[in-house]
Structure 1
Amino acid sequence: MRLRALLDTDALGLRLLGGEDELDRTVRGVMTTDLRDPSRYLSGGELVLTGLAWRRDAADSEPFVRLLVQAGVVALAAGEAELGNVPDDLVVACAHHRLPLFAVHESVAFATITEHVVRQVSGERAGDLAAVVDRHRRMMTSGPAGGGPDVVLDLLGSDLDLRAWVLSPAGRLIAGSKVSGPALPADACAGLAAEHLAATRTGRRGPHRVLLDGTVYSVFPIRSGGRSPQGARDVRETVLSDWLLAVEADAGDWPEERLDLLQGVTQLIAVERDRRDAARTVRRRLAQEVLELVQAGAAPAEIAARLRVAAPVLVPGLGAAPHWQVVVGRVEWAGGEVEGGPVAQSLLEEILVDPLATGPEPSDRIAVAHTGDEAIALVPLPAVVTEHDGSEYGIHADVLLESVRGPLSAGLDDDGRVTLGVSAAVHSAEGLRGALEEARHARRVAAARTGRVCAAGHQELASHVLLLPFVPDDVRRAFTARLLDPLRDYDRRHRAELIPTLEAFLDCDGSWTRCATRLHLHVNTLRYRVGRIEQLTGRDLSRLEDKLDFFLALRMS
């Protein structure tokens, strides 16, 4: 704002004492001080308010004004409450340095002037920023990406002092301003996402006011393609996929200009969201082709060849052929009016990204297809080059569930369910069909539970479940291979005879003496072999459940 505008505002009660020719200077901030040397706290462009407590005699005015001018101050306003008027020596010093000087009537509080200046300057800066945002949006829609959400969030932080973050519906931090201070904690992200989804399901218009741990946030929906709330036939089609913009401020006190600016920011981020969705189109198609081969019972060599061709797109940067996991998801709504497949596809693409990761890079390695109401994700894992030690790696169903259950439950309200099934990692294309059936069966186990969001992993397909007649043969074979393949591989490399040892140990009902006698081994050698079996498989042969699993695996192999 201009100094002239301050003088024209009667409510401020300012009286000009000098500097008539400098009233077109621009005010960019305000500071109140009675320090003899406040220069270290000035950055330039301020209107300085002072009660004159720094002045002991006339000789103090000249150095004080000189320091202000050197710091880039645009004007000085001196209060009359302390001395009854502004001293002549201060008027002379300001005239000498061409620094405009105002007198502030004793009835006017400095806080009143400060509030007026901050409000006006903020409005001006918001207008400037709106122009920048609009130009940035035009660049992104007409050419290459202009830096993504982080750029405009940095502008909000630097120009309007607004801390802002882009979040996914599951509470993942997608982007945040680098000038906004520390990143938003994971529990705050989840809480904001949950409150936003709950408000969206009630039909309330954004922004939504959220109070978390004593801090007020305003949450703005980011609708794909700039779509209006009425753009979808049913809010359930998009509630689990739309991003959100969280701002650490109470937008209820904002003028229309600032609200319009933030709406423009959400539209700009929506352009970036659409760009990322478009980039997933090829991965979706490749995943669909691979899964069609798997479901059709194609030869493993044919599936492996297709994966090699697709690898540069499905697994950019991973290099060697990875191991794979399959995750199956299903979104179901009461009434069945909403098609669940596309919703589940978007949701899997989101929740399979590490909740602690930011930016687009992690999602470049997730390929999700959908058939009917079911979404199927092919998740590559880096090939494990060390010897198998029985530990689990990759996606764990319980960890996945814990990271998304809170926010998604709020979006599902009382008429929706999400169920997820996670397979074990498989080491080749030959195991993909078994992994797919395993993930599907695990999802059915999850669906039998209570709760809005449920997940189950391959670990929960215990041997007694595998005996049920409706369990697919591929699931049984995957179970057997997962339990016995580490032992077979070890025997092949070391000629350790772990498989024969396991069979004999089970036939002898776990008796160390009888088993050692049958195998013509010392008991200590037998104990070593059994310990190696337990280490490689992660099982405990003193437990009845694990003995039963091994017994059935050996009989089905």
Structure 2
Amino acid sequence: MRLRALLDSGVPGIRLLAGEEELDRGVRGVMTTDLYDPSRYLSGGELVLTGMLWRAAPEDSEHFVRVLVGAGVAGLAAGVTEVGPVPDDLIAACERHRLPLFTIGEELSFARLTEFVVRRISTERASDLTAVVDRHRRLVQAATGGTGLDGILGMVAADIDIRCWVLSLTGRQVAAGADPLTGELCTALARGHLAARARRARPPYRERIGGRVFSMLPIERDDGTAAAAQGVWSEWSLVVEEDVADWSEQRRGLLDELARLVAVEADRVEDGRRLGRRLAEDVLHLLDAGADPGEIAARLRVAEPDAPDAVTWQLVAAAVTVPGTDPDAAPGRRGATTIGRMARTLVEEALADLGTQVLVAATADGAVAMVPGPSEDVAAELRERLAGLEGAAGEGIRLSLGVSAPVTRADALRGALEESWHAARIADGRPGAFAVVGHEELASHVLLLAAAPESVRRGFRDRLLSPLTAYDARHQADLVTTLEAFLDCDGSWTRCAARLHVHVNTLRYRIGRIEELTQRDLSRLEDKVDFFLALRLR
């Protein structure tokens, strides 16, 4: 019940003295005390009844009120039978600390007031429980009636004003019961979820972002075959824009019921992905066996039966590096299988909701996805959807992805597969928690750089750039920046000087210093190419 009910119900003999603006506080119980410090008997939310026998001097009022406020009581009611009218110092202390204060006349006994409050609380709790049971029933009906997660979450938002969403650990918004979250907010929540798992926090996890408070309840499930590492990445999270730690037991029960319905939907999605996995595995086996392209095309038509004859496919290869696993594990060993399943789960989540059936198979080295057309910028989609992995605390997982060029013929799939794995190996040499390399980069100098051993690339870069970086460090100069700008401007003195905001003579001096330190001539094409490649290897 609310404190306001003490005044609205017409109970005789009770009058408000302070704290009118705080009358919407909830009351969870009643306690009668005349102890100077009753804090050890208070748990918060009580209406405290007192005869004021604890007050021996005016300064005692400040102490008593501080104790009550610190314990989180809802309000204070003082009887006047024993010591007379409520003193001004107690009224002033309650006003300072925003604690509602009532005075109880001689015609109203503490026993009668306690009976009224307890009866009112019991009635409201029974009413709340009935409402919760009714909501549970309607949630189940909505789920069995095919409403879908969006409809169920929308019903919860409209009925009891709970704004909630379902997110995957990659930051994908699976369902929304309110306005969709921004991509930045989804990414921040996914990172918060991962960080909470890493520090072994007890759910629901709590995250404050931009002045908004969110609670995240993991939706844990197990398909009976998934390894523990895959289970983490296949996990969804029910996100509520409130701190659910303050919720009543009945309200938390509704949240648990909602989480169970989300788990059912997660299992349904998992079942739907199994067919795509089997098809992808079949196609990969046929490619490895050198099967007839007609047989491969027939298997692919199972995935897209209504598509035209010339379907465009792009292949995505994914390699996952996990701390503590053997990167050279032979196929069939447990470590490689776990990595493959993890890679498959990550790619499935990253490519979900594209509007087409993506076929994903786990391999000994990671995973392979087959994305049907019409052709999209698959590499850009992956970069955007996996942004939550960057900076994920405590996981230490690295994901490297390569995307092939689009192909329309079954006999071109083998080459597309090799191209995607080669792009993934190039991605593995890049910094960060994940990297994506598209097929367009394989037609540039990136391919040549990636083919050289790391020691060769490092030596080539250092021989050209170390004299410049050392000079910059000693003289607080900008020779490396000047070199990069000069090459970007195709050797144009005027354009480069304008970009650097320096005089052309100053630019000529810097270029001369670069040539002197490196014994190279920037008027020669060969030396320009060498510098360009060295800068790309930084």
Any residues of structure 2 matched to 1:27-426 within 5 Å, and which?
A: 124-125=127-128, 128-133=131-136, 136-137=139-140, 146-177=146-177, 180=178, 182-224=179-221, 234=228, 236-312=229-305, 318-319=307-308, 321-336=310-325, 339-353=338-352, 362=354, 365-382=357-374, 393-405=375-387, 407-411=388-392, 413-426=394-407
Superposition CA RMSD, Å: 3.9
Contact 1:322 1:380 in 2 (8 A): yes
8 Å contact kept, 1:221–1:242: yes
TM-score (norm 2): 0.56
Structure 1 residues 150 and 301, CA, compared in 2 at 3 Å: closer, same or farther?
Answer: same
One-letter amino acid of the counterpart of residue 324, structure 1: W
Amino acid at match of 1:210: E
Is the 1:394–1:425 Cα contact (8 Å) retained in structure 2? no
Write the letter of the residue equivalent to 2:9. Answer: L
Q: Give unmatched runs, 5+ long, in structure 1.
A: 18-29, 31-104, 109-115, 355-361, 383-392, 472-543, 549-557
Secondary structure of the 2:316 match is: strand
The change in CA–CA distance for 1:134 and 1:374 in structure 2 (over 3 A counts) is: farther
The 1:209/1:154 distance shift into structure 2, 3 A limit, reads: same
Decide whether the 8 Å contact of 1:334 with 1:416 is kept in 2: yes
Residue by residue over 1:251-308, the C-alpha shift from the partner in whole angstroms, topping out at 9 and shown as x without a partner, is: 1221222222212211111001101111121121111111211222222222223222
Deviation of the 1:232 alpha carbon = 8.4
- Residue by residue over 1:461-515, the C-alpha shift from the partner in whole angstroms, topping out at 9 and shown as x without a partner, is 23556669979xxxxxxxxxxxxxxxxxxxxxxxxxxxxxxxxxxxxxxxxxxxx
In the alignment, the residues of structure 1 paired with residue 184 and residue 123 of structure 2 have an alpha-carbon distance, to the nearest angstrom, of 36
After TM superposition, where is structure 1 displaced by more than 6 Å over at least 4 residues in a row? 105-108, 116-123, 467-471
Change over 3 Å in CA distance of 1:367–1:396 after alignment to 2: closer
Unaligned ranges ≥5, structure 2? 13-23, 25-100, 105-118, 326-333, 453-524, 530-538
**How far is 1:319 from its partner?**
4.9
1:497 is matched with: none
| 1:440-451 pair list within 5 angstroms | 440-451=421-432
Map 1:487-506 to 2 at 5 A: none
Distance 1:225 1:210, change over 3 A: same
Corresponding position of 1:454: 435
2:390 is paired with a residue of what secondary structure?
Answer: helix
Contact 1:409 1:452 in 2 (8 A): yes
Q: With the length of structure 1 as denominator, give the TM-score of the two structures.
A: 0.55
Distance in 1 (CA, whole Å) between partners of 2:184 and 2:274 is 32
Structure 1 residues 170 and 468: CA distance shift in structure 2, 3 A: closer
Q: Deviations over 1:329-368 (max 9, x none)?
A: 12221112861111111111110135xxxxxxx4651111
Rate the CA distance shift 1:380–1:145 in 2: closer, same or farther, 3 A.
Answer: farther
Residue 110 of structure 2 corresponds to none
Partner AA of 1:343 in structure 2: M
8 Å Cα contact 2:164/2:241 also seen in 1: yes
Query: Does the CA contact (< 8 Å) of 2:303 and 2:357 recur in 1?
Result: no
Rate the CA distance shift 1:378–1:194 in 2: closer, same or farther, 3 A: same
User: Deviations along 1:529-552, whole A, 9 cap, x unmatched?
Assistant: xxxxxxxxxxxxxxx99xx9xxxx
Residue 325 of structure 1 contacts residue 394 of structure 1 at CA under 8 Å; is this kept in 2?
Answer: no
- Aligned residues, how many? 345
2:316 counterpart letter in structure 1: V
Determine what percentage of the aligned residue pairs are the same residue: 39
Cα distance in 1, alignment partners of residues 403 and 172 from structure 2: 20
Equivalent residue letter for 2:280: A
Q: Which residue of 2 is the match for residue 80 of structure 1?
A: none
